Amino acid sequence: DADVTQTPRNRITKTGKRIMLECSQTKGHDRMYWYRQDPGLGLRLIYYSFDVKDINKGEISDGYSVSRQAQAKFSLSLESAIPNQTALYFCATSDPGTGGNGYTFGSGTRLTVV
């Protein structure tokens, strides 16, 4: 099994629908992140979490919310999806004990909002 698992891998949804992207990890890391990737823009940070009780907004958090259900699970929600949220979404974990070295990325979720 992968260290960081994202579900679903692909999703097409309609404008206005609520959708949740899920991320689970077996690395035992406290820190988890959600990024979105758009062509020509690189990856941009949406939210990050230091632990279950610590959630922080990233660069582009508007229109998104997150839930850290457990150390191993970090979900990203789009309350009312819009077409410009069409993107590739990545979850990641990191181990601060390795000085930023220990980043692990999931395989990504490709979301299309029509």
Applying CB under 8 A, among 21, 106, 111, 113 the residue interacting with another protein is 106
Closest to another protein by CB, 26 or 56: 56
Q: Is 64 in the site for another protein (CB under 8 A)?
A: no
Applying CB under 8 A, among 19, 22, 31, 66 the residue interacting with another protein is 31
Q: Is 74 in the site for another protein (CB under 8 A)?
A: no
Buried b (16+ CB within 10 A) or exposed e, 18-34: ebebbbbbebebbbbbb
Beta-carbon neighbour count of residue 91 at 10 Å?
26
In which residue are the tokens 């601060």 written?
A: 96
